[in-house]
Structure 1
């Protein structure tokens, strides 16, 4: 449901549903986090972004390349290049997607 809301550009509703999910004690999965991070990137809700990043760390899914790629993209869209770089630097097995996300983040902020 959260992914559907994000795909339909209902980012605020997706974040509200995620908050309800957390309050209900429903376990957070990788796919849900990816959708929520996309919603965060589009709304530039930095406080929510930090909260989701903490959940990612707690659930130990911050080592997954696809999650890290989305985190890099999210922080870059919010103008937090330092946070994007920190995530990137901590990825052990960098794939082409995380490299591309970091290069795009730097380029979009004039750091060619």
Structure 2
């Protein structure tokens, strides 16, 4: 599998954070549901990457997203989007932080 880390901005390591809210390692322990939050700081580009399974996100601040080879799309606050495991996911943020909540699949193990 090719490495997509080179597609992230240089400030990605210090400009991106994830936290589990519900789940096996979350603030609320759950073996049935995983819900997390992700923050992308201003002017940070996430690396291109694939997801292991379908995921669903609720955008709580504007952000630009691209799935597969489609065009970049500016998603508004309240937008809901689904990432298919067969597609590449790309996201970038402009002048303000990008918050999103995600419903993540449970591990099959």
TM-score by length of 2: 0.28
Give the helix-richer structure, 1 or 2.
1
TM superposition score normalised by structure 1: 0.28
**Higher strand fraction (1 or 2):** 2
Higher relative contact order structure (alpha carbons within 8 Å, sequence separation ≥ 6): 2
